[in-house]
Amino acid sequence: MGSLMPASPNHDAERTAMPEAPSEDLDFINLVTLVASTAASELGDRKPGNPQPKLNLPRARQFINMLSGLKKKTEGRLNEAEIKVLDTLLSDLQARYVKAAGLDKEDPNLQLLGRLAAQAYGHSKRP
């Protein structure tokens, strides 16, 4: 099974450094991890029994949005371990989505489109 946490050189140390969590905390962490692993598989991570991963950006975005919604709905009610897991997985998945979708590349037409849109809505002076 693929890694559910983002890869880091100190991953094992981070895992052992996490305090023991009560079972209800683990239930929330397991839920977050399940949703995150599904998003990761939609971003092309390999699944057991499926050596050919497929990229499915719309489904990946749905699962990332689920995690974002969980974060908003549980704000102020999570312990330190739950916050760390949720924030780490969410930021990792968001960064991977941006890269997979090609949104990290600069679009030279964007400035022109911005000027044209501003002109169309009367927010800039026309030449």
Give the integer Cα–Cα distance in Å for 87 and 7: 15
Domain membership flag for residue 19: yes
Domain membership flag for residue 1: no
Domain membership flag for residue 64: yes
Domain membership flag for residue 43: yes
pLDDT in tens, 53-111: 889 999 999 999 999 999 999 999 999 999 999 999 999 999 999 888 888 776 666 66
Closest CA to 88 of 36, 44, 51, 41: 36
Q: How many domains does the chain have?
A: 1
Give the integer Cα–Cα distance in Å for 6 and 85: 10
Domain membership flag for residue 5: no
Q: Is the pTM of this model over 0.85?
A: no
Domain membership flag for residue 3: no
Domain membership flag for residue 2: no
Domain that holds residue 101: 11-120
102 residue type, one letter: G
